[in-house]
Amino acid sequence: MKFDPSIECARTLDNADTLAPFRRHFQLPKDKHGRPINYMCSQSLGLMPRKVHKFMNREMDRWANRAVEGHFDESNSWYDYHERFSSPLAQLLGAQPAEIVVMNSLTVNLHLMLVSFFQPNPKRYKIMIEANTFPSDRYAVMSHLLYHGLDPKDTLIEFTSEPGSLILKMDEYERILAAEGERIALILLPGIQYLSGQLLDIRRITALAHEYGCRVGFDLAHSIGNVPHNLHRWGPDFAVWCSYKYLNGGPNAVAGCFVHDRWSQDESLTRFAGWWGHDKQRRMLMESEFRQLPGAEGWQISGPPIFSLAPLEASLAIFDQARLSKLRQKSEMLTAYLQYLLENKLAAHIKILTPNRKAERGCQLSVKLKVSSKKATEVGQNLRHAGVVADWRQPDILRLAPSPLYNRFYEVFQAVRALERVLQSK
């Protein structure tokens, strides 16, 4: 559809939106005066599905009425509660259910993957990450290099963008591999880069890494539930993610992990073991010898936290109804509309850092403000006072992420109009 800057265009787009009814499945936030908030911050925390109360109450009632017997109820038992998440997450990620497990938090899962997939030797001992990697990922990688007695100055390779840009180019990736590929043990990159909103080509990155004999993993925190994946076919060795952004699993919800099927029964991989990774048919026998479960479940350490998983069950049911392919279509339209309005109304005041092509981004647009650092901070604060919740990154980057599950085109229009007023105010 051809956009125009009028409010009527936003209303026309909303009237044609077949996914609009899904907005009713979510609890929409309000300010302290009870007024609706224009929420553009899905890349930080998704909204709460209304049925979360139902799923949480079900498990609290089970605890109250069944106590320890709740672990082995005939239906919805706690013992295997986590297993019901593998299939819906596998559908979102293009994986086999056995390649998926929900457990821990993202960085804990990353540590577990690094234990298994980063095994440096005299020939291969380096790790590649992107220069603007999310700090927690960097901390984890650095700690493993140090644990193995390696100096990060010599063993950490950073995939950088061109000066003045946040966009990662495949030409640079290929150059690094040509120069260092035989010394790289592991490549860790994001599905979507958190700061720029750039969607990376996982298939191509993986294929090139494997050509050079490197293992490769991905942090999918900003891409799961946002864009389609095909992990089994693309073939990365592992992936990790959190569930509180586009998956709407709640604050610090249980995270997840993908381990490709090629490693499903490879007991030679080093791992940190725990009893939930032990043969589930023999787990309660309290045996002293560890019998590793096949598939991603074999990396489990402890039993699943039920109250943290229940909200995710409510959210995944919505994804099953909406279908990610349709959500992606609406997301592309929402983001294109947001880009159009920003360029039409605020071209003199902003620079969009996210790639222009829809195939190279998710639903997030990162915007650099062409103002002083002091003014930029004020803009972030005043935008919130105007009723728009977005994410502010110092010194001058604003991240806007309309979700196709619950955001309307009219809200995108309102958000840009609010930003326009804030930027033009003295």
* pLDDT tier, 416 (very low <50, low <70, confident <90, very high otherwise): very high
> What is the tens place of the pLDDT at every residue in 103-121?
999 999 999 999 999 999 9
> What is the tens place of the pLDDT at every residue in 111-152?
999 999 999 999 999 999 999 999 999 999 999 999 999 999
What integer pLDDT is reported at residue 19 of this predicted model? 98
Query: Based on the domain organization, do 169 and 307 belong to the same domain?
Result: yes
What integer pLDDT is reported at residue 426 of this predicted model? 60
Cα distances from 140 to residues 101, 301, 314, 321, 382, in angstroms, run 20, 18, 31, 36, 35
What integer pLDDT is reported at residue 296 of this predicted model? 96
Query: Based on the domain organization, do 160 and 234 belong to the same domain?
Result: yes
- Highest mean pLDDT pick, 33-37, 383-387, 402-406: 402-406
- Of residues 176 and 376, the one with the higher pLDDT is 176
What integer pLDDT is reported at residue 142 of this predicted model? 98
Query: Based on the domain organization, do 159 and 80 belong to the same domain?
Result: yes
If you average pLDDT over residues 16-25, what whole number do you get? 97
Query: Of 292, 319, 346, which residue constitutes the final position of a domain?
Result: 319
Q: What is the rounded distance in angstroms from the CA atom of residue 411 to the CA atom of residue 29? A: 13
Asked whether the predicted pLDDT for residue 62 surpasses 80, the reply is yes
Query: Of 290, 319, 348, which residue constitutes the final position of a domain?
Result: 319
What integer pLDDT is reported at residue 261 of this predicted model? 97
> What is the tens place of the pLDDT at every residue in 282-321?
988 889 999 999 999 999 999 999 999 999 999 999 999 9
What integer pLDDT is reported at residue 48 of this predicted model? 98
Query: Based on the domain organization, do 14 and 126 belong to the same domain?
Result: no
Query: Based on the domain organization, do 305 and 336 belong to the same domain?
Result: no
Lowest-pLDDT choice from 41-45, 70-74, 213-217, 404-408: 70-74
47 within domain boundaries: no
Q: Residue 126 belongs to a domain with what CATH number?
A: 3.40.640.10
Query: Based on the domain organization, do 356 and 226 belong to the same domain?
Result: no
What integer pLDDT is reported at residue 5 of this predicted model? 94
Q: What is the rounded distance in angstroms from the CA atom of residue 219 to the CA atom of residue 221? A: 6
51 within domain boundaries: no
Paired residues of 153 in beta bridges: none
Asked whether the predicted pLDDT for residue 234 surpasses 80, the reply is yes
Indicate the number of domains in the chain.
2
Asked whether the predicted pLDDT for residue 22 surpasses 90, the reply is yes
297 within domain boundaries: yes
Instruction: Give the domain range for residue 207.
Output: 57-319
Query: Of 272, 289, 319, which residue constitutes the final position of a domain?
Result: 319
If you average pLDDT over residues 223-251, what whole number do you get? 98
What integer pLDDT is reported at residue 295 of this predicted model? 95
